């Protein structure tokens, strides 16, 4: 049931094709259920289910994160919005979110069942992520590494034209600041 | 002979762990009593308010080589005194002996009130009690994976020296 919910969340946040891997029991995420999604551009994302938290708590958390990332604070995940602009979606009795993948490698305590790994959708190279996630991936522009304390976007104050994000791969992460069009 | 040595080693290991558990049980009670008498006092004064992660410990903090790469798990995010994050930072990343260095670095960015300072000690005490109880409880589980057992034993050894000092700071 949980994997089904995670898949549903991934479908809602990402455009096919993407690689989906269900991951269980990560201590880094308080043992919550989550999945790793690798999109067509090779960016890694984390889909997480929130079971006990209220929507007010989650919305507060997302507002703080979005504001902080827009101000160029490093070390925070970038939240994905679905096509209606929501960063939280209701699935059955819980809430789901998708954010940039922060850990440089998988938590050694977490479990990955190979059976839960799959490619979703076709292999068309022009597929793009939705919403601000799309802006992030299509306007990629490497600025600096994570050694910085604050990495401000090019146009602070105009969040519609600039976005700060994390780019990651299996071996590491770098903090990117991306100027908009 | 070899078996005998292994048995002796195992016995020593077991008695070392038992001694550690006993020390924790005694210290936790004393710390809880000291904290209880402290929190019932009325504090006068204001705290600074900032956004706090609220659950800072190594599993929520990632490094790539020696460089900080990011935080995860914001479920305990709070708008409250920085004492909350500072206490967790001190106790989980360096122990109470690093408190002075951590606080003098932080206050260069944001000054702390007297109340914040008092809260740091209380939050540290509260966190030590929480960590200690959690580790002792988990270690009683029969099916606990080896890696988790090791992590809990490590935590108990690492945090023990802080208890005594914090108890007297309260």
Find the range with the poorest average confidence among A88-97, A119-128, B7-16. Answer: A119-128
- Quote the pTM value: 0.73
Domain-embedded: residue B8: no
Q: What pLDDT score was predicted for residue A120?
A: 76
Domain-embedded: residue B71: no
Which chain B residues have a beta carbon less than 8 Å from that of A61? Answer: 74-75, 77
Whose CA is closest to B75, among A104, A4, A65?
A65
> Which residues of A have a CB under 8 Å from any CB of B?
27-30, 50, 53, 57, 60-61, 64-65, 68, 74-77, 102-104, 107-109, 145-147, 166, 172-173
For the cut 70, the answer to whether the pLDDT of residue A133 exceeds it is: no
Q: What pLDDT score was predicted for residue A19?
A: 93
Domain-embedded: residue B16: no
Domain-embedded: residue B65: no
The helix/strand/coil state of A22 is strand
Pick among B50, B57, B59, B70 to test the A interface (most A CBs inside 10 A): B70
**What residue has token string 């590491």?**
A172
Q: What pLDDT score was predicted for residue B48?
A: 86
**pLDDT band at residue B142 using 50, 70 and 90 as cut-offs:** confident
Which residue range forms the structural domain that includes residue B157? 23-60+76-169
Mean pLDDT of B66-92: 91
How high does pLDDT run on average in chain B?
A: 87
pLDDT, tens only, B94-135: 899 999 999 999 999 999 998 899 899 999 999 999 999 999
Q: How many CB atoms lie within 10 A of CB B115?
A: 16
Mean pLDDT of B71-91: 93
Q: Classify each residue of A100-136 as buried b or exposed e, where b means 16 or more C-beta atoms within 10 Å of its C-beta.
A: bbbbbebbeebeeeeebeeeeeeeeeebebbbbbebb
For the cut 50, the answer to whether the pLDDT of residue B138 exceeds it is: yes
The total domain count for chain B is 1
* B54 neighbors B84 (Cβ within 8 angstroms): yes
Q: What pLDDT score was predicted for residue A145?
A: 27
How high does pLDDT run on average in chain A?
A: 67
**pLDDT band at residue A6 using 50, 70 and 90 as cut-offs:** very high
Q: How many CB atoms lie within 10 A of CB A160?
A: 10
CATH code for the domain in which residue A146 is found: 3.30.200.20
Residue A36 makes CB contacts below 8 A (sequence gap 6+) with A19, A20, A21, A23, A44, A45, A46, A47, A101
**pLDDT band at residue B169 using 50, 70 and 90 as cut-offs:** confident
For the cut 60, the answer to whether the pLDDT of residue A151 exceeds it is: no
The total domain count for chain A is 1
Q: How many CB atoms lie within 10 A of CB B96?
A: 21
**pLDDT band at residue B50 using 50, 70 and 90 as cut-offs:** very high
Determine the Cα–Cα distance for residues B108 and B135; give it in Å rounded to an integer: 35
Which residue range forms the structural domain that includes residue A143? 2-179
């Amino acid at each position: 049931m949980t994997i089904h919910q995670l898949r549903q969340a991934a479908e809602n946040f990402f455009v096919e094709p993407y690689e989906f891997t269900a991951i269980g029991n990560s201590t880094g995420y308080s043992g919550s259920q989550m999945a790793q999604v690798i999109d067509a551009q090779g960016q890694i994302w984390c889909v997480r289910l929130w079971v006990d938290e209220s929507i007010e708590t989650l919305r507060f958390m997302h507002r703080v994160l979005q504001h902080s990332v827009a101000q160029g604070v490093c070390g925070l995940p970038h939240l994905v919005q679905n096509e209606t602009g929501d960063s939280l979606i209701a699935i059955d009795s819980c809430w789901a979110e998708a954010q940039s993948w922060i850990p440089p490698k998988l938590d050694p305590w977490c479990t990955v069942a190979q059976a839960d790994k799959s490619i979703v959708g076709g292999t068309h190279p022009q597929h793009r992520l939705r919403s601000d996630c799309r802006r992030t991936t299509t306007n990629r522009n490497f600025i600096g590494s994570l050694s910085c304390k604050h990495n401000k976007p090019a146009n602070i104050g105009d969040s519609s034209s600039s976005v700060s994000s994390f780019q990651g791969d299996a071996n590491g992460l770098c903090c990117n600041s991306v100027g908009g069009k | 002979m070899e078996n005998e040595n292994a048995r002796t080693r195992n016995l020593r290991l077991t008695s070392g762990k038992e001694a550690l558990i006993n020390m924790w049980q005694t210290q936790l009670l004393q710390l809880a009593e000291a904290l209880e008498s402290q929190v019932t006092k009325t504090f006068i004064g204001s705290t600074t308010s900032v956004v706090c992660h609220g659950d800072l410990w190594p599993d929520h903090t990632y490094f790539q080589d020696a460089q900080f790469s990011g935080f995860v798990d914001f479920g305990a995010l709070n708008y409250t005194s920085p004492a909350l994050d500072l206490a967790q930072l001190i106790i989980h990343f360096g122990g109470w002996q690093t408190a002075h260095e951590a606080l003098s670095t932080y206050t260069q960015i944001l000054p702390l009130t007297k109340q914040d300072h008092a809260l740091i000690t209380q939050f540290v005490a509260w966190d030590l009690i929480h960590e200690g109880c959690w580790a002792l409880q988990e270690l009683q589980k029969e099916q606990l994976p080896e890696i988790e057992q090791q992590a809990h034993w490590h935590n108990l050894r690492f945090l023990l020296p802080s208890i005594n000092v914090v108890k007297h700071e309260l």
